[in-house]
Structure 1
Amino acid sequence: MSIMTEAEAKTILDKVIALSTADECIAELSGTIDGNIRFALNNVSTSGVISNTDLSVRVAFGKRVGSASINEFSDAALARVVKRAEDLARLAPENPEFMPAVQRQTYRATDTFSAATAAITPEDRAEVARASIAPCKAQGLIAAGFLNDSQSFVAFANSNGNFGYQRATDMDYTCTVRTEDGRGSGWVARNLQDASRFNVDNDIQIAMRKASASADAQALEPGKYTVILEPAAAAGLISFMFNFFDARSADEGRSFLSKAGGGNKIGEQVFDPRVNVYADPRHPEAPALPWDGDGLPRDRFVMIENGVVTNLRSSRYWAEKQGRPAMAQPGNLIMEGGTKSTSDLVRETQRGILVTRTWYIRMVDPQTVLLTGLTRDGTFYIENGELKYPLKNFRFNESPVIMLNNIDELGRSVRMGDGGSTMMIPAMRLRDFTFTSLSDAV
C-alpha cells in the first residue's frame, strides 16, 4: 500500500477532513518504496527494500495548532489521529506567526515520475554492484558504493477544498574506489530521476582512473590558486550559500544579503554578471513537485539574473508582514553554465588545481558565508592543459560569494542531489581560490 492511486489517497483524505471539528484541517499522505544495495571491499554488504506510508494531520483552533501522524488507515485509526491532533491543539499556546491553510489552488503537473526507475528490481541493483566491483577487482582496486532508488507519492487536502496528488522517482549512485595500499582514491556520483539514463560502466571508469592517478600525491604549498571545481565539488558550497537567500534573515540583518542601513540587497549587483540562478519545477533535467510545503503553486522563480539579486524566499508570514505577495518556496536550484565539460576546462588551463569533491563543509562566518572544508578523492595539479600529478588534499577557507565574483569560466551544468533537493550546477574555473593547509587524508 506504499504507493496509493490518486483515488485511494483522496478517499482517505476526504474522510480525515470530514472527521475534524477544528476551524481548519490539513491532511497529507505520503508513501515511498526505497530499494538499495551497498558494497564495500569489493563485496556486497547489504541490500533491501523499505516501504512506508504515513498520514499527517494538522488542525487549528484559531491560532492554536496541533499535529499528529499515523501509519494505519482504518476508519477507527483515522478518527484517533484526528482526535489526537485536536486534543493537542486545544492544549497548545497561540502561534503568533500562524498562517491559515491556503484556499483551493490549481496545480500544473510536473514530470517527476519515471517508469524505468520505478521498475528497478533486486536483480538490477545486484548488476550495478557487480559492474562496479568486477572491473576494480581486475585492476587491483577496491570499490565501495551505494545505490538507492526510490518511488514515492504525496497527496494532501485541506478544509478549504484544496487537493494535490503526484508521484515521483529518484536514483542515487555513489562509488569510491581506492588503490590496494590506500594511497589513491577516486569517486563518482550520479543523481537521476530516470534510471534508463544511468551507465554504470562509464561512471565506474571515472572513479577507477582517478584512484589510480591519485596515488603518490605531492604536497603543494597552500595559498591562492586557479581551481577547477567539478560540479560535485561546487555543489556543496553553492547550496550552502542559498540557505541564506531568505528575505527575513536579510531584512533582519542576519545575512550577507543584509544592507548596512537596513533592508536587503534585492536589485544590487552581488555576483559576476555570468551568474544566473533560478528555480523551475518544470526544468526537464530536475523537475520538482508543483507545490511547496504550504500548498502554494510553484512557478519559475529567478533569484539571480546577470549577477543581480532579483528575489529572496519569503515565508507566507514574512511576505504578509512586509506587504509582499506570497511566493512558493522553490523545489530545486538551477545555476546556468556554459557548454564545456570539465575536461574542456582542464585543457584550456595553463596552471591550476582540479578538485573532484569537497566535504566536511562548515560555516565560519555567516555574514560573509565564509566556509571551511576539505578536498578529497582526487585532487590534481594542472599544467599546460594536462593533469600533471596528484596533490595532497587541502583544507580551504572560501566564500561562495567571493567564488562567484572570481569566475574565469563556467562549464556545463550537471544534475546533483543534495539531501533530497535537486540542483543543476556547472563545473567552474575560478581565480584565487584559498587553500589554507594540507590534509593527509586521501
Structure 2
Amino acid sequence: MAASFLQNFQALVAWLRDNVNAPEQFTLSYAGEHSQFIRFNHARVRQAGDVHQSSASLKLIADGRQAELNLTLSGDADIDRQRLGEALAQLRQTLPLIPPDPYLLLNDSAWESHDQQEQPLPDSASVLKQIEAGAGDLDLVGIYAAGPICRGFASSSGAFGWHQANSFNFDWSLFHANGQAVKANYAGQVWDDELFARRLAQAREQLDYLGRPLKTLAPGQYRAYLAPAALEEIVGMLGWGGFSAQSIANKHSPLQRLYSGEASLSPLVNLAEQVSGSLSPAFSEEGYPRSDLRLIDQGRALEQLTNARSAAEFQRQANGAEPWESPSALSMAGGELAEADVLAQLGTGLYISNLWYLNYSDLPAARMTGLTRFACFWVEDGQIHAPVSTMRFDDSVYSLLGTQLEALTQERELMLSTSTYGQRQTGSNHLPGALVKRLTLTL
C-alpha cells in the first residue's frame, strides 16, 4: 500500500518537472495514510473502518512571489495529473496578482532522503482479543488507530524526500460507576503484549482507587509526581513559541529568560528534537532537511527551531522547522528514579496522572495554570489513599522543571499524537515522569 503512495507521488513529481519551466519553480508536499480505526464502548467494538487518503500541496514560485494550492488526490494517476494541471494553471493566474514575498527563502539544493519504517503492524484480531480479555466487563471507551503514514517533498531544484512509517495508537479510558475515569494510552511501532497488559493492569488498579471517597485539598504547595502524560501537557505548552526562533527574536517566547541566559532549569533537564528514529519525516514542508537538535542541555538553552522565513528575517540558518516552529519529535532524557519506586519516593503528596486546560498565567515567567484530570491521587507513606477532587495549579516551569525538580524516571513513555483532524499526524513526545518537591495548587 505504501508503494502505491510512493508511485503516485513520483508520478506527480515527474509531471511537474516536465511542465514547470524556468524561471518558474515549484515545491510539492505530499501526505498519505491507510488507517484502520476501531472505536470501543463498554470494551466492545462499536465501529470499525478503513481510511485510505492522500493529498498534496503545490507551491509555484517566480519573480520573488509564491502562491500555494492544496489538492485532495484520488489515487488514480490520470485524474490526479488532471487536478495537478488545473492547480498549476490556477497558480499561474494568481502569481502576478500578489506582491513579492520579502521573506521568501528557497532551498535550492538537490538533497535526497528516503526513510521506510516497515515494522509489522499488529494483527487487529489479536489486538481485539487482548483488549477484550484484559478489560473483561469494565466500561472501556477508546479508539484504536493503526496503519502506514506517508510524507513526501519534491522541488524543481531536484530535492526529493520520502518518509513512511507504520504505527499504532490505542487511546482509552476506564470509567467507574461513579463517573470518575482513568485515562491511558499505548502507542508505538511494535506491539508488545506484555507491555500493553501492564498498562491495562495499572489502569485497572487505579480504577479501583476511584471508588474511594474523594479527598479535597486546601490550596497550597504539595509534593507531587507528574506522570509522563501530565508532563506532556507542560512541555506541550512550551512548544507554543518556547523554542521558536521567531518568538525568541521578537521576545515573545515563554522561555525568553532561558535563551537570554537570565535563568536556567534543573541540570536533570535535557530536551531534544529527536528526528532520527521518530515517526516524523527528516525534511520539512518547506523543503529543508531536518536533523536532531539539542534544545536544552543540562538545564541550559541551546538550539532553536528555525524555519525558512525566520531564517530570512533574522539572518539565521534554517534547520527544517515547520512554519509554526514547534517540536514534532520531542524527547526528554530519563533520570535515575525507577518507576516501581515512584510512590515510595513520593512519600506523602500528589500522584498526578493527567493535566488539562493549560494556559499561561504569566508568559514571560513561564508560569502556567491548568486543572488536574483523571486519576489523580493523594498518597501517604508511599501508598495511594484516595482520589483527589479536581484542583487548579499555577506554577512556573522554572520551578517545576527547575528549582523544585527532584528526579526523573528511568522509564520513558512514547506518546504519539492522537489527532485525526483531517488526517493522522506524525508528532510524538518521548518523556519520563517527574518528581517535584513543590507544586502550587490555587483552588
User: Alignment identity in percent?
Assistant: 19
Identify if the C-alpha distance between structure 1 residues 91 and 4 changes in structure 2 by more than 3 Å, giving closer, same or farther: farther
Structure 2 unaligned residues grouped into runs of 5+:
322-326, 420-424
Q: Distance in 2 between matches of 1:429 and 1:435?
A: 16
Give the aligned CA root-mean-square deviation in angstroms.
2.4
Count of matched residue pairs: 421
1:423 matched to 2:429? The reply is: yes
Whether the aligned pair in 1 keeps the contact of 2:105 and 2:309 (CA below 8 Å) is: yes
CA distance in 2, matches of 1:55, 1:393: 44
| Of 314, 318, 333, the match for 1:326 | 318
Name the counterpart of 2:117. 113
Counterpart residue identity of residue 214, structure 1? L
How big is each residue's C-alpha offset from its partner over 1:175-209, in whole Å with a ceiling of 9 and x where there is no partner?
21122232x42221112122356754332222221
1:272 maps to 266
Using the TM superposition, give the Cα deviation of residue 50 of structure 1 relative to its aligned residue in structure 2, in angstroms: 0.8
Which runs of 5 or more structure 1 residues have no equivalent in the other structure?
438-442
- Are 2:105 and 2:312, in contact at CA under 8 Å, matched by a contact in 1? no
Query: Matched residue of 2:4: which SS?
Result: coil
* Residue pairs, 1:178-327, within 5 angstroms: 178-182=175-179, 184-196=180-192, 199-215=195-211, 216-243=213-240, 244-258=242-256, 265-266=259-260, 269-283=263-277, 286-327=278-319
- In the alignment, which residue of structure 2 is the partner of 1:11? 11
The answer for the alignment partner of 1:56 in structure 2 is 57
Pick closer, same or farther for the CA change 1:198–1:67 going to 2, 3 Å.
farther
TM-score (norm 2): 0.87
Residue 54 of structure 1: how far off its partner (Å) = 1.5
Q: How many angstroms apart in 1 are the aligned matches of 2:56 and 2:311?
A: 29
Q: Quote how far apart the aligned CAs of 1:426 are.
A: 0.9
Q: Deviations over 1:314-373 (max 9, x none)?
A: 222322443332222254111111243433121122211100111222333322232222
Which of 406, 409, 417 matches 1:408? 406
Residue identity matched to 1:211: L
Distance 1:345 1:203, change over 3 A: closer
CA apart distance, 1:129: 4.8
| Partners of 1:363 and 1:371 within 8 A in 2 | yes
- C-alpha displacement at 1:8, in angstroms? 4.5
The whole-number CA distance in structure 1 between the counterparts of 2:224 and 2:183 is 18
Comparing 46-55 with 225-234, greater Cα deviation is found at 46-55
Name the TM-score, length of structure 1 as normaliser.
0.87
Q: Aligned AA for 2:275?
A: P
Distance in 1 of aligned mates of 2:181 and 2:7:
50
- Amino acid across the alignment from 1:160: S
Contact 1:60 1:86 in 2 (8 A): no
Aligned partner letter, 1:4: S
- Tell me which of 431, 440, 443 is aligned to 1:434: 440
Match of residue 127 from structure 1: 129
Equivalent residue letter for 2:50: V
